[in-house]
Structure 1
């Protein structure tokens, strides 16, 4: 059930794009916004599929969906901070890189190795680069605090994932499920930020 917020946020995001209700959108990055919100829908579906039949073969779809939204988010921050044209050119290569990291992990699992280093790099390196970009280059949109809030929420989601069993013992609610809710809140912050943030001339 904790995957439902992703479905709802993804669908609502696409509807808002269609109705031009996101004043913080940068037109050159239209495809990246579509990819981000589509990724949320895929996360909802992929997560549901995984929990119906937990295995590496179903987890791969969940992780692929995550990388679609994750890399799209990174591209969007590159666009608002450095250059929309550069970011637009990065969308396809970075989506490919993210998906490749999941495929590499899955193949390594089949070989009995389970190498998550590539996947981990794809997830954590952008989280280090984003604050650096905003610090050195600023943003073409108002309210960069929205992005920093999302980074904090992301860190909270990873904490919940790492301490899954401990959280269950503390509150009787699995850390994995808690991670879903925290991550969905991060997606909500991004969507809400697009409604209230404005381009800076």
Structure 2
């Protein structure tokens, strides 16, 4: 318990120091200037609005499977709460992001970022439940979600993105690292890495919104594709929940990769050590 308090104290101290030594990061108004602003069927910025629909589908499917006959076999109560928060956040992204893209501005951007933050923070709590401690992870759900909400309010009232940036990007680093280093409670742990990879690609596409719009000859923008790739994150996690089972031999992915690499090297050495010997065969003189 003492070590936990020390760890939280160090984390809080690092956050305070970061806030003191770094300049504030205001929200750039250029962010709202998306490449594709075409209107279809009376819907402004139509493709950026419509491309959020997959979030609603995946979020609702995930919620139904969480509670319908316990299809995901969530054996821990904290897991059920955590995944519920996650899928609620995912489904809400469809509404929040669509509302924002109808008329992009700072006030509407709050409703775009709020459900995403709920999904991010609940995922961190789920990881703590699965790989560190069930009780600590369950207790951390509400504080982590509240921290995410506070980071958005701080940005909105003080026009400073630093806390929100930490809430968004720390899980992007921590979750893949934890997925590799910490032994999982369940199988199919590599799905976490696939989800992280698709999210990373989505962020690249978001940054390349206008170049992609040009490369595709104004067919589709980077931001629209970003929505589709980001929606693959909950798709992979839903597949993971559906396929996984209790891991009887708990090994981290790093340990599994080390064993696999050792076997590969051993096989290579054995293959190289094989030699072929040829014996002299007498040749009969045919006369």
Alignment TM-score, normalising by the size of structure 1? 0.92
Q: Is the counterpart of residue 9 in structure 1 residue 54 in structure 2?
A: no
**Other structure's SS at 1:120 match:** helix
Alignment match, 2:190: 145
- 2:81 is matched with which residue: 23, 28, 31? 31
Alignment match, 2:226: 179
Equivalent pair of 1:24/1:197 in contact (CA under 8 Å): no
* Structure 1 position 25, deviation (Å): 6.2
Higher radius of gyration, 1 or 2: 2
Alignment TM-score, normalising by the size of structure 2? 0.65
Q: Is the counterpart of residue 134 in structure 1 residue 179 in structure 2?
A: yes
Q: Evaluate the alpha carbon distance shift between residue 195 and residue 25 of structure 1 in structure 2; reply closer, same or farther with a 3 A threshold.
A: farther
Let me know the Cα RMSD of the aligned residues: 1.5
Q: Give the total of aligned pairs.
A: 196
The within-5 A match list for 1:93-172 is: 93-109=143-159, 115-171=160-216, 172=218
Worse-matched range after superposition: 148-157 or 79-88: 79-88
Q: Evaluate the alpha carbon distance shift between residue 12 and residue 150 of structure 1 in structure 2; reply closer, same or farther with a 3 A threshold.
A: same
* Structure 1 position 4, deviation (Å): 0.6
* Structure 1 position 105, deviation (Å): 1.2
CA distance in 2, matches of 1:148, 1:23: 21
CA distance in 2, matches of 1:186, 1:66: 12
Worse-matched range after superposition: 129-138 or 82-91: 129-138
Alignment match, 2:122: 72
Q: Which has the higher contact order (CA 8 A, sep 6+)?
A: 1
Per-residue CA shift, 1:69-88, capped at 9, x if unaligned? 11111211222221222111
Select the structure that is richer in helix: 1
Query: Which of structure 1's runs of 4+ aligned residues deviate more than 2 A?
Result: 23-28, 131-137
CA distance in 1, matches of 2:116, 2:92: 8
Worse-matched range after superposition: 74-83 or 40-49: 74-83
CA distance in 1, matches of 2:162, 2:116: 16
Unmatched segments (≥5 aa) in structure 2: 1-49, 249-287
Alignment match, 1:112: none
